[in-house]
A and B are shown apart, each in its own frame.
Chain A
Amino acid sequence: MSEHRIKTVFRLLWRDKFAFVAAIILTLTVFSALFGPWLLGRSATMMNLRARNAPPFDLSKGFEYILGADSLGRSILARVLFASQTTIMIAAAAVICSLVIGTLLGLIAGYRGGLVGEAIMRVTDIVMSFPSLLLALVVLYVFSPAITNVIIVLAITRVPIYLRTTRAEVMEIRSRMFVIAAEVTGASTFRLVFKHILPIVAPTLITIMTLDFAFVMLAEASLSFLGLGVQAPNVTWGVMVAEGRAYLSTAWWLSFWPGLAIALVTMSLNLVSNWLRIATDPVQRWRLEKPEDKNV
């Protein structure tokens, strides 16, 4: 990407103040997910029994207790930053898995069709016809709730979204002139699908991905909250909320801060995907370029 294009992106982002703040929050989250455990691993696991359930905004025990401490006297701020790695890693892995599987199956169902396509769509209907959380709970109870199983379950429940989108788009694109032209000139099926059709579907899939990332994060947090997701000693924001539930009436900050972290990140993802949809759409882009002019 040239310097000019980076500047354009930045300018468009700056025009939408909410999206700008959201982008900063997401950058910080990614930073803490990458470096948090490395920088704060010690203070996130260090117990301090004198600071048990220490209240927030009290600096007498040092700056790291600004958000309070949990029942073992561990700094909540450090733990929230520490937990961001597992939280983000699980969501990212699940989204990438469902994206890859969903897109491949969608390409097959859309391009090939026939009996295979029909079978794929029917299985998708089953997955979609049932509340994903209940399905995940049943599956996670059968297979022990380890991190990999959580990722697999979350990925399975999200595959239909990508699959249906890809299939619908492929069915439309494959009848376009340039695809037929490529077919006539003797392009292989592989080349047709991956060189000609996939690049046109990709932007839609990426927009769905940002939204889905938020959804998967919420789903993981719900599962962990119900005790069937990630298990201690692994820690995600959902696990932290669940741990704090027992102290709700005496120490609200145990559940409040990790929950706020989830809320902030999902909200930022929604804002950024909203901005992305407008910024990548030539028809709507003027909204970002001329925000002062109210009459348009």
Chain B
Amino acid sequence: MGIYLSKRAIWSGLSLFLLVVMVFFMARLTGSPADLYLPIDAPTSMREEFSRLHGFDQPVYVQFFDFLRGLVTLDFGQSLRQGRPALALVLEAMPTTLLLALWSITAALMIAIVTGALAAWRPNSVFDRIATLLSLIGASLPNFWIAIVGVLVFAVGLRLVPTSGTGSVSQWILPVAVLAIRPCGLLVQVARSSMISVLSSAYVKTARAKGARGRRIIFVHALRNAMLPVVTVAGDQAAGIINGAVIVETIFGFPGIGKLMIDSITYRDFAVIQAGVMVTAIAIFMLNVGIDIVYAVLDPRIRVN
């Protein structure tokens, strides 16, 4: 386990480093932030002063080494827009996105496992056909369109929930639902097909021969084994959920990492972009390791290596 983790950490560290180098140089290609932050008629002396203050007058490689030195001490520099440490801004936005992702994937998993298992119990039944069709629809709908239609119907039309903001619980319902629909559609299909194949295995037939009831067979005997592919796909969906979070946070005005990144890109806030990329990549790395561990817990036959 220790060897596995350290090996994986080294590879991920290398990938992370390359990613950050890439983002650093690409962000510098967009042009000087002085043009964006200063008025268009600002005198040259003012521009030079601004560049000197933020270190943009240095050659790129000097900026890069300064950046690397900061990286070691977890100092990503100051946000140009807000004048605060970039890392602090990112870490403030992170919990909102994580919470959004966590609620969405939990909701998607719960709905998908129950629906998939019940649909698999009698393939081709009416319930199965409806579940399959709905899951297919759910997996194909564009996020932003669901969000817009959701706002129209539930916020503007029926006035059940607010249109945006993060203050109360009711403001979370719509974003979580929007974010959960796509993964849920995919997971229902995975849960269904994996359940069908597990239900035809010998040990389930034995349980059936012993006279175990239907519900008991599904939820006690078969579910644990059928969960494996579901967990894999749910893990793959994690990066997708972050993608969706960018859109959902923009539409619903959530102060999460997606909105922060979009704002930083618009305002050329280099430091925040770098810190955001770094933190997101680390979060996804930790999540992948977590999934591997869950995997080993679910199926003792799998050795983590």
Contacts and interface: CB of A to CB of B under 8 A. Distances in A.
A259 B142 contact: yes
B145 interface: yes
Given A142-B30, A248-B156, A249-B156, A131 B149 contact: no
Contact of B247 (A18, A226, A249, A256): A226
A82 interface: no
B186 to A, nearest CB: 10
Given A126-B18, A129-B284, A274 B242 contact: no
Interface string B248-275: 0010000000100110011000000100
A138 B273 contact: yes
Interface string B135-152: 011011111110011011
Contacts of A226: 246-247, 250, 262
Nearest to A249: B156
Interface stretch (B7-15, B40-48, B54-62, B208-216): B7-15
A125 B288 CA distance: 12
A83 interface: no
Contact of B145 (A125, A131, A133, A263): A263
A206 B285 CA distance: 31
Given A138-B26, A226-B262, A270 B19 contact: no
B261 A134 contact: yes
Nearest to B261: A134
Interface in A113-139: 122, 125-126, 128-134, 137-139
A145 B136 CA distance: 32
Given A129-B15, A241-B144, A270-B136, A142 B239 contact: no
A274 B23 CA distance: 38
Given A129-B285, A222-B144, A245-B148, A271 B243 contact: no
B291 interface: no
Nearest to B265: A141
B305 to A, nearest CB: 18
Given A130-B281, A245-B148, A249-B156, A138 B265 contact: yes
B277 interface: yes
Interface in A70-104: none
Contact of B141 (A228, A249, A263, A271): A263
Nearest to B151: A248
A67 to B, nearest CB: 16
B280 A131 contact: yes
Contact of A241 (B26, B141, B148): B148
Interface residues on A, range: 35 or more
B153 to A, nearest CB: 9
Nearest to B241: A131
B124 interface: yes
B246 A133 contact: yes
A161 to B, nearest CB: 11
A294 interface: yes
B5 interface: no
B207 interface: no
A169 to B, nearest CB: 19
A30 to B, nearest CB: 18
B27 interface: yes
A16 to B, nearest CB: 12
Contact of B12 (A129, A266, A269): A129
Interface string A208-232: 0000001000100110011010000
A157 to B, nearest CB: 10
B102 to A, nearest CB: 16
A218 B285 CA distance: 25
B74 interface: no
A144 to B, nearest CB: 10
Given A134-B243, A256-B149, A262-B145, A294 B124 contact: yes
B15 A137 contact: no
Contact of A248 (B136, B152, B240): B152
Interface string B217-258: 000000000000000000000011011001100100000001
Interface string A248-269: 1100100110011011001101
Given A241-B148, A256-B149, A266-B142, A137 B11 contact: no
Instruction: Give the 10 A-B residue pairs with the shortest CB-CB distance, closest first.
Output: A259-B145, A133-B243, A267-B140, A266-B140, A131-B242, A126-B15, A142-B26, A141-B265, A225-B144, A131-B243
26 contacts: A125-B15, A130-B239, A130-B277, A130-B284, A131-B243, A131-B246, A131-B280, A131-B284, A134-B280, A138-B27, A138-B265, A141-B265, A218-B142, A218-B143, A222-B243, A226-B246, A241-B145, A248-B151, A248-B156, A259-B142, A259-B144, A259-B145, A262-B145, A267-B136, A267-B140, A270-B140
Interface of A: 18, 122, 125-126, 128-134, 137-139, 141-142, 214, 218, 221-222, 225-226, 228, 241, 245, 248-249, 252, 255-256, 259-260, 262-263, 266-267, 269-271, 274, 294
Interface of B: 11-12, 14-15, 18-19, 23, 26-27, 29-30, 124, 133, 136-137, 139-145, 148-149, 151-152, 156, 239-240, 242-243, 246-247, 250, 258, 261-262, 265-266, 273, 276-277, 280-281, 284-285
